[in-house]
């Protein structure tokens, strides 16, 4: 397995691999109307921390999807330990293996930025019920970056673009989300936040490169703390 940032997250089994971690997820979900009758989809579910929380807390129908098999296996272990009946699906957000208008709630926690955003958002819109909600926590570019910095960040995270808040809003709107509410994620100290929220489920053979990549992520987080931020996008059709 190539030691990319996302592959390393999977081998290290980082749970809550988004800014603010599970604490932020819980705060966001508190504002939503979720009950047993709802169907939720966690795209890019990683090790399944959020999916497990939703199934446990709201006893609703949850589907956890990811393109990475190591992540899905760690989700499966988590759900089995917690005796949670959650559908685990291998797939790509750009081509969701679901029928139209299926879900009431779709979560994307640090996922869309790693995908072909237009294709993914169009797919999310397709499988969301008309009265459904997409909640996305995504990285935004807060200011103009030098070409060198932009390339360095894009190469490291293997993302094809770095979007500003307005870029995201434009893409959500262009793909059918008429209403987009935005909230800035306020993190007092990103590194501390990661320390507080990170949970690890280590694979057996982890190449040394992964620890180096994790360190480099922390270094970038610190170096670009004023240039890269995060937003919660709450999108309705």
Ligand X SMILES: C[S@@+](CC[C@H](N)C(=O)[O-])C[C@H]1O[C@@H](n2cnc3c(N)ncnc32)[C@H](O)[C@@H]1O
- Site mask, ligand X, residues 4-23, x = CB under 6 A? --x--x-----xxxx-----
Q: Tell the smallest beta-carbon distance from residue 126 to ligand X (Å).
A: 15
Nearest by Cα to 32 from 105, 101, 130: 105
With respect to ligand X, which residue has the nearer C-beta, 57 or 179? 57
- CA 180/CA 184 separation, integer angstroms: 13
- Give whole-number Cα distances, 11 to 58, 138, 201, 208, in Å: 29, 22, 8, 11
- CA 111/CA 95 separation, integer angstroms: 14
Candidate ranges 41-49, 54-62, 196-204, 213-221; the one touching ligand X (CB under 6 A) = 41-49
With respect to ligand X, which residue has the nearer C-beta, 68 or 132? 68
Footprint (CB under 6 A) of ligand X, residues 114-143: 114-115
Q: Is 59 exposed, middle or buried (0-12, 13-18, 19+ CB in 10 A)?
A: middle
Q: Tell the smallest beta-carbon distance from residue 186 to ligand X (Å).
A: 18
Told to check if 28 binds ligand X by CB under 6 A, we report no
Told to check if 94 binds ligand X by CB under 6 A, we report yes
With respect to ligand X, which residue has the nearer C-beta, 37 or 191? 191
Tracing tokens 């800035």 back to the chain, one arrives at 184
With respect to ligand X, which residue has the nearer C-beta, 7 or 61? 7
Nearest by Cα to 26 from 61, 56, 65, 46: 56
Return the bridge partners of 140, or none: 229
- CA 54/CA 61 separation, integer angstroms: 9
With respect to ligand X, which residue has the nearer C-beta, 59 or 94? 94
Residues that bind ligand X (CB under 6 A): 6, 9, 15-18, 44-46, 49, 66-68, 71, 92-94, 109-111, 114-115
């Amino acid at each position: 397995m190539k030691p990319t940032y996302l592959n390393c997250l999977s081998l290290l089994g980082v749970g809550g691999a988004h800014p603010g971690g599970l604490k932020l997820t819980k705060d966001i979900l508190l504002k939503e109307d979720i009950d047993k009758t709802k169907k939720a989809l966690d795209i890019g579910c990683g090790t399944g921390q959020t999916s497990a929380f939703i199934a446990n807390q709201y006893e609703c129908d949850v589907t956890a999807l990811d393109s990475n098999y190591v992540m899905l296996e760690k989700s499966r272990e988590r759900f089995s330990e917690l005796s949670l009946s959650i559908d685990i699906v291998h797939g790509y957000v750009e081509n969701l293996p679901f029928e139209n208008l299926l879900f009431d709630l779709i979560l994307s926690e640090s996922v869309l930025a790693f995908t072909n955003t237009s294709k993914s958002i169009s797919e999310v819109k397709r499988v969301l019920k008309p009265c459904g909600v997409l909640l996305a926590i995504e990285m935004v570019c807060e200011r103009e970056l030098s070409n060198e910095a932009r390339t360095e960040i894009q190469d490291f995270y293997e993302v094809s673009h770095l979007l500003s808040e307005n870029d995201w809003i434009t893409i959500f709107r262009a793909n059918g989300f008429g209403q987009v509410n935005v909230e800035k994620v306020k993190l007092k100290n990103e590194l501390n936040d990661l320390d507080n929220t990170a949970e690890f489920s280590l694979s057996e053979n982890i190449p040394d490169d992964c620890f180096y990549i994790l360190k480099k992520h922390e270094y970038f987080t610190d170096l670009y703390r004023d240039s890269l931020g995060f937003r919660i996008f709450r999108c309705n059709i």
